[in-house]
Structure 1
């Protein structure tokens, strides 16, 4: 069957024959994932090396490799193979490897020149995974010393301008239309008070009665898939209901993509893996729940929370297109038609735990991420939080370089936390147990058994019943050079304390309430067996730092804690803000972070400890309310958004993360938070700006704007902190003489005008003054004439407005016009 991409293959081959980099923007259904790699295998530059095809998901990687191997009439592992963490099917004749993105990072770290690799194809790059962004940055760095290495970035939707900024303006861009049939779209909002699965089942069966063919249902997670599967089994047993998600074996995944051999209608219940990369054969109906589940990291708490939220518009359109791959189709969206959707998803690098990224940068020898070319640079606050964790784990030093333990930990293909645990487990004579534990903690999709000890015992007792766990644990044991065997679970708490030092927790006065070493609060149900434990370590937490829920935890003894962290035996001054007393309270303590094993009175308050206690109180409570600071932050936010990242991040999160730098030096002699609030915070922050930026600030984001009446009015930049435009509240008659809205930020941002009556009551809000003069002004003028009769006899009201007839036949001289404002001009006389 001919696919649209085939007409573009000569252009792709020519582009990579003459350039080392290229971009392919191919719409869904074009056939790029499988046809492009195969067509490049015989290119002269590729004949002496292998090609790597990067896929963001394991399911897509396996299926793509299987399909391409079929084109050669071979099994996977011959000409075409795949490689992912813990699973590899490649051989000596393999020339095309489909790899997941983390595998590319490891390959680059182990061989920065990628000897034997002729080209790398980044598929579905629009998903903007953290590992995909890092892989491209490292590949571009490797290409700087290997100009024969080809890079092709492919996607259905790409931010071409942003990528050209990284790849180079001369990079060829090839466009390819997709192959799709018309898709009708219907909306059916669900009632939040009724059972969701029952409503979904009714909606699906109604839609299937109106549309022939198989159905694809896209849901946020496996739990939702299984609930709907049970509901459909009771309502429509004649349907073949199948699941499609990453936990399934390969054969089950492939079976879900093929029509039923007996001709029964199928319903395929899938997670977001069905959004791109794979085609489910026979689908003419897509039902989209409109939700996605994404991990969101919170740097201030150190917690990652799975967040279920509305899908973005680009993803919703991708899902809709699945209904039109093989014929006219129907897309049923389970939300109201007027429900707004954000245009695109956030790159993962802006919302993920950046400890793994910080570790990979240190392995690459980069101490400053500016040294690499990023489509989206890693944000400062989460990167700093990731580095802090790596230092606590003993993997990084103060210069962001790997320690001896960090270099040793690089051999483990796992999160740096767990790599640190594996490295230190020999101190506890518990390396086989550590391998078993890491495999359990990393089980894809998690485990319904929340009791870690019981879950681990079950696996060690019957390893054959837990095939994936056994495979992963034995792989780690091979790296460690030890046999995987049943062992005592006594060191379990110690192992977790090594991996999660900030999640060591001490019980407070009430059962089930714990203070984490990081300072946050966490809870267990009072009926939980660990609710009365004095010390525990939590391997799984969810929620906010002010009240996280503990899901998996193990008890920890005081002696064990002190042996793992000798600093727990040292007395140190501790000061913290007491809301009850309204002041700093000081004492000497032994312990770890906020976990206190012993305490005694403190005779005097050391200045450095006072400063750190104030800073910590501010980090917990947030920035003081300060109008001048809010306005400055808004100005900086606007300039960063419109002019680029040379302007500093002024978000509250970023400023709290950098408090020690811009506020700490000014806290000498201060012991109360109300005294901090009286400091000139805006000026202190302004003083941290580089002189060239400070010199441009007032010109690009002036605090006050001159209006045609000759007055100067304050601009409100607070809305810019929420990605809104700055606001100027001004009487309507003072704007006579402006043809268009004033603009700031070098003309790139219009000011939102709040037009007021003479009594300063709101009349109109507009960011397009020209359209207001041409349209809405006439109605406002009539209203003003009725409310303010004096204006009916004042020609100044209208002679200053272009193309508006005066209210009276009298005429007076124009009001003096002000000097020009960026982007605005005054009507000619």
Structure 2
């Protein structure tokens, strides 16, 4: 069968023959995933090497490998194979490996030269997973520094070509390929929250089958939703051929779901979002879109990334709709109201994820400054700093963001750095099999319904076959550890959790009230069995900074905490600002963070502890209000936003986070908070600015602005803190002769003019003065010249003389 991509194969081969990198923008249905890799195997630069094809989902990886192997008349594992975490089918003759994105990162870390690999293909790059962004950055670094001959092809249905060319190089060839689509009618059918959802979905499907010929594809967020709808259809339409398509199915079952029924019967294929872009389901002319997707989201309450169900974005909804028009005119039924707004695109995962794993991989790569790598979307500074802080607390990174001995030991564990620490240090507790079982439980599915961690673990250990996925994951970790998965006691459970979550060790303040080692507070219901525990470890919180609810926890003995963390036996000075007493209160304590195991009086106040306590108190209160500080913050915020990151982030949040750098050095001898608040904070902050930037500040964001009348007026930059332009309030008569609105920030930002009457009352607000003179001024002139006859109101304000006088000259 001829596919649209066939006409572009020669162009792709030619591009990669003369360039190390290329972009392929191929619309859905073009056939890029399975035709392009096989064609590239014949390229001269691929002789003697193999290709890696990166897929964002495990299902897509298996299916793509199976389909290409079938095209060659072979089995998977011969010329074409696949590799993913915990599963692989490759052999000595494999030349094309279809891999999930995290596998590439691990391959690069183990062998930055990628010996034996001739090229890397990123498929469906528009999905912008964190692993894909990191994998591309590392591959580019390896290509530029070690393997100039390595070929790199980035493919997607939709790509931000301009941004990618900025990363790959402006000379990178771009190949476009149209898809093969027919017209698709779109209908909306909102579901009622008061009625059974699977029943409503089944009704919508059965009615649509009467309207549209061909097979049906139903896209649902997950396996549980697929199973519920399948049970409903089994009752209401038992003769219907219903098939599933998701990652838990065997490869043969996944491949059968992609093909028409051998007996010619009409099918309903119920799939997860895998059917959105990565594979083509043959015969589909009807799409039922539930309008939801399951995406990885960092959850502060568990400290891990889990799948979360949310409303689909518009780009994904359009991709799903297009599935109905691959092989003929089709129908798409969307199970939400037409008025329901959808966000245009999904956020790149790097902007919303926990970046501790990314920070760990950067340290493994030997990167201290992420700016050394080429990113499509750079990792946000605050999130990366938080990830690095966590890794330092866990003992994985040193102060230079490089791996410690513990960090180097943890690289063997294919899991979150928190859990890697648990696994690596569990040997000292003689609890490595338990750690393997616990990590598989924490990372796996199905824990949300079980509140008791110990009971959930016991259930799996007693009946592992009833929890097959957990068993496979735990066995895989046990094989890496070189141990047998035999757990005889759960006694070290709390200690293992404390290794992964030291900041969540919590001390009872009152029944059900706890202070976390991180300094926050957390609560349990007073009726909870652990409400009276002296110490516990919270495995899951609701993510609130203060007053967090504890969802899962295990009691911890104080002596075991001291054994895990030797710093608990060292005395240190602790000072806090007491609002009630209006002074610093100090004592010596020992413990873990804010968890205090013992205390004794403090003879004198150490200067460093005084400074730290004052800064912490200021963080809680916030910066004192002041116009001078607010104006300075606004000026720099404008330049940071318009001219780039060379200008610092001086938002309230950023300044409070960096108090030690810009304010700490000025607190010598100060012991009272009111004295701190009386300091000239704006001047101190300005003094911390790099001299080269400070010398440019007044020119780019002047404090005052000269107007045509000869006077100068103060600009108000506080609106810039809310992403608005600066404001100049000035009498209208002083602006005569100005042809256009004044601009700041190297001419990039027009000033918002508040034009005032002679009585200094607002007449007009405009950022486009020329437009106001042409269309708004005549009306203002008609209204005002009778009210203020002794002030000039010329017919042509652009040529009139500006004046600050309150009366006409005689």
| TM-score, reference length from structure 1 | 0.87
Secondary structure at the residue paired with 1:363? Answer: helix
Name the stretch that deviates more: 747-756 or 661-670: 747-756
C-alpha separation between the residues in 1 aligned to 2:724 and 2:332? 33
Q: How far 1:221 sits from its partner (Å)?
A: 5.8
C-alpha separation between the residues in 1 aligned to 2:752 and 2:327? 47
CA contact (8 A) 1:576 1:613 kept: yes
Q: How far 1:258 sits from its partner (Å)?
A: 4.8
Q: Cα deviation per residue 1:685-733 (whole Å; 9 max; x = unaligned)?
A: 3333322222222322333444444444444444444444444455555
Q: How far 1:369 sits from its partner (Å)?
A: 2.0
Secondary structure at the residue paired with 1:540? Answer: strand
CA contact (8 A) 1:286 1:322 kept: no
Question: Residue 289 of structure 1 corresponds to which residue in structure 2?
Answer: 291
1:32–1:650 distance in 2 versus 1, CA, 3 Å: farther
CA contact (8 A) 2:519 2:594 kept: yes
Gap regions ≥5 residues in structure 2: 805-810
Secondary structure at the residue paired with 1:397? Answer: coil
Question: Residue 393 of structure 2 corresponds to which residue in structure 1?
Answer: 392
Q: Cα deviation per residue 1:460-501 (whole Å; 9 max; x = unaligned)?
A: 222222222222222211211111113211111111111111
Q: How many residues align?
A: 801
1:207–1:115 distance in 2 versus 1, CA, 3 Å: same
Question: Residue 482 of structure 1 corresponds to which residue in structure 2?
Answer: 483
Secondary structure at the residue paired with 2:510? Answer: coil
Q: Cα deviation per residue 1:370-394 (whole Å; 9 max; x = unaligned)?
A: 3222223223322222222222222
Q: Does residue 801 of structure 2 align to residue 814 of structure 1? A: yes
Q: Does residue 35 of structure 2 align to residue 35 of structure 1? A: yes
CA contact (8 A) 2:205 2:288 kept: no
C-alpha separation between the residues in 2 aligned to 1:102 and 1:390? 20
1:491–1:296 distance in 2 versus 1, CA, 3 Å: closer
Q: How far 1:247 sits from its partner (Å)?
A: 5.2
Q: Cα deviation per residue 1:67-114 (whole Å; 9 max; x = unaligned)?
A: 222222222222111111111111111111111121111101111100
CA contact (8 A) 2:257 2:269 kept: no
Q: How far 1:217 sits from its partner (Å)?
A: 5.3
CA contact (8 A) 1:572 1:590 kept: yes
CA contact (8 A) 1:380 1:654 kept: no
1:470–1:309 distance in 2 versus 1, CA, 3 Å: closer
1:762–1:595 distance in 2 versus 1, CA, 3 Å: same
CA contact (8 A) 2:299 2:543 kept: no
Gap regions ≥5 residues in structure 1: 803-812, 818-829
Q: Cα deviation per residue 1:25-52 (whole Å; 9 max; x = unaligned)?
A: 2223322222221211111001211111
1:486–1:522 distance in 2 versus 1, CA, 3 Å: same
- Report the RMSD for the aligned CA atoms in angstroms: 3.5
C-alpha separation between the residues in 2 aligned to 1:29 and 1:8? 14
Q: Does residue 782 of structure 2 align to residue 785 of structure 1? A: yes
Q: Cα deviation per residue 1:244-292 (whole Å; 9 max; x = unaligned)?
A: 555555556555545567745636363x444432334415334353676
Q: Does residue 105 of structure 2 align to residue 98 of structure 1? A: no
1:635–1:103 distance in 2 versus 1, CA, 3 Å: farther
Secondary structure at the residue paired with 2:403? Answer: coil
C-alpha separation between the residues in 2 aligned to 1:610 and 1:305? 41
1:389–1:744 distance in 2 versus 1, CA, 3 Å: same
C-alpha separation between the residues in 1 aligned to 2:234 and 2:740? 62
1:93–1:544 distance in 2 versus 1, CA, 3 Å: same
C-alpha separation between the residues in 2 aligned to 1:397 and 1:13? 46
Question: Residue 468 of structure 1 corresponds to which residue in structure 2?
Answer: 469
Q: Does residue 797 of structure 2 align to residue 800 of structure 1? A: yes
Q: 1:71-470, aligned counterparts within 5 Å?
A: 71-143=71-143, 144-185=145-186, 216=217, 245-246=246-247, 250=251, 253-254=254-255, 257-258=258-259, 263-264=265-266, 266=268, 268=270, 270=272, 272-281=273-282, 282-287=284-289, 289=291, 293-296=295-298, 311-331=312-332, 342-444=343-445, 446=447, 448-470=449-471
C-alpha separation between the residues in 2 aligned to 1:191 and 1:751? 49
C-alpha separation between the residues in 2 aligned to 1:672 and 1:275? 61
Question: Residue 499 of structure 1 corresponds to which residue in structure 2?
Answer: 500
CA contact (8 A) 2:49 2:117 kept: yes
CA contact (8 A) 1:290 1:334 kept: no
1:37–1:621 distance in 2 versus 1, CA, 3 Å: farther
Secondary structure at the residue paired with 2:65? Answer: helix
Question: Residue 24 of structure 2 corresponds to which residue in structure 1?
Answer: 24
C-alpha separation between the residues in 2 aligned to 1:554 and 1:62? 39
C-alpha separation between the residues in 1 aligned to 2:368 and 2:553? 34
Q: Cα deviation per residue 1:284-305 (whole Å; 9 max; x = unaligned)?
A: 3343536765524669x97879
Secondary structure at the residue paired with 1:790? Answer: coil
